[in-house]
Amino acid sequence: ARAKARTTAMQMSAQERRSLLSGTGEVATGSFVGQTRPNRRLRVPALKMQDGSSGFRPTQAGEAGTTTSFPSLLSLAATFDGDTVESVAQAIGEEFKGKGANAVLGPGASLNRVARAGRNFDQITGEDPYLGAIMSAAYVRGVQRAGVMAVVKHFAFSNQETNYDRQDSDVDERTAWEMYIPPFLAAIEAGAGGVMCSHNKVNGSYACENDYLLNTVLKKYMGFQGFVVSDMHATRSAGAIHSGLDLEMPRATYFSELALSTLIDGSPDKGRWKTADATMDAAVRVLTSMYMMKLDEHPGCDVPCIAQRSLNVRTQKHLEVARMAATRSVVLLKNDGILPLRKSKTKRIAIVGLAAVATDDGRGTNSSAYGGGGSSHVSISNVVTPLAEMIQGAQAAGITPTVSTDGQI
C-alpha cells in the first residue's frame, strides 16, 4: 500500500498533494463530519469520516433512529471479551458503510484516570492499559473487517474534558509507555488506518504539533505508517505539518493551499524543501491508509451521499448484537442467592431514580441514560425504558414493584 501511495503521490502536482491534507468543512445534507476532496484524475476517493465509537452518529434532519445505539465503549470494556467487541465493531462498521462513510472516528483509547471525566464512557480502555490494549485491537479488527477504516483517538494523554483544549499533561517516559501508550500501540499493530491527535498540550506543546509525540514516539518508535488527523479545530499552526500532523479537520484553517505553499521554516531554500518533503510524506500517509483499506477499489458514494444518509441501516441482527453486548457488560461480582429474583424469596422490589424513566430527545448531542453526550451520542427515537422492562419482569415473577423517580419511597 505504501509503495502504491508513493507512486500516486509522485504523479500528483504539489497543489493536488496539498489538497489531500485538509477537510472540506462542508455541513450540507449528505456530508460527513470530516471529509476530504477526491482526486478523480488519479482515482483517489474522498475520506468520509463520521462519529462515533458507539455507532453512526445521526447528524441530519430525520436521521435519528436509523442507526443502532450500541453499548458505550466503557461498557464494551466491562465485558472483558475481545470477541464481543469485535462483533459489535463489525456491526458498527457495517452501518457506517451503509450510510456511505468509510472511516469511524474511534475507538477512544485514552485511559480513564479521573472518575468524573466527561469522556470516560467513550474509552475502550477502562482503567487498565492491558485490558485497553486487548479491546482497542479487537475494535479495530472488527470495524476494518467491514471495510471501514478505524481512526483511534485521542493521542495522547487526553484524560479530562474540563479545559481540555488548554490543560497540559506532564508525563514521564516510563509512565507513558507502561500506562497510556499500550492501547494505542495495540490498535496500530491491529492495523488502524488513522490516529487522531488531541486538543491538550503534552509536556508543554500542543499534541497536534508536538514533534516528539507524533514524529518520534508515534511514527518512529511505534512504527505507525498511517496518517495523523487533528481533532476538530485542534490544529494550531501551519508549522504542525513539520511536527507530524498530516490532515487538518474539519477544514483548512492552517493547512490551506496558501498557507502550505508559502510556509517557510528556517532559511528560504532549506525551509521550502523541508515543507515540500513534509507535505509529500503527509500525502503518502493519507494514501497509504486509503490503499490499505482498498478504498480506491470500493469508493462508495460521491459526496453529497444524500441517498445513503436517508437509509435505515438499523437491523434486527444489529439490535441483537447490541443486546448481547449490553448483557455481557453487566458484571456480577457477588451473588448470595438473591438473583434471579423469585417470589418465594422476594415479595417486593424498589425501582428508584430518574434513569428508570429516561428517554432520549433524539437531537443528536444531548446525553441520556443510554449513551454519553457530544460527538459520540447516537440518538434514539424509540426508547423502551428500564422501568417498563422491570415492571414487566416483576409482574411475570409475581413480585410487586414500588416505583419512585424522585428518590422518595
115-139 burial code (b ≥16 CB/10 A, e <16)? eebebbbbbbbbebbebbbbbbbbb
Note if the bond before 304 is cis, omega within 30 degrees.
yes
Q: Which helix (H) or strand (E) holds 48?
A: strand 48-50
Strands 201-202 and 168-169: parallel
Cα distance between residue 36 and residue 390, in whole Å: 47
CB 318 within 8 A of CB 94: yes
Counts of helices then strands in the chain (DSSP H, E): 13, 11
Q: Is 231 a residue of the active site?
A: yes
Q: What is the DSSP letter of 291?
A: H
For 92, phi then psi, to 5°, come to -60, -45
Note if the bond before 250 is cis, omega within 30 degrees.
yes
For 90, phi then psi, to 5°, come to -65, -40
- Pick the catalytic residue from 231, 246, 281, 360: 231
In which region does residue 194 sit, left (phi positive, over 0), alpha (psi from -120 to 50) or beta (all else)?
A: beta
3-state secondary structure of 404: strand
Cβ-Cβ contacts under 8 Å for 95 (sequence gap 6 or more): 55, 56, 67, 68, 313, 314, 318
Q: What is the DSSP letter of 375?
A: G
Note if the bond before 156 is cis, omega within 30 degrees.
yes
Cα distance between residue 253 and residue 240, in whole Å: 12
Cα distance between residue 376 and residue 162, in whole Å: 17
CB 76 within 8 A of CB 125: no
CB 357 within 8 A of CB 409: no
Question: What residues are labeled active site?
Answer: 231
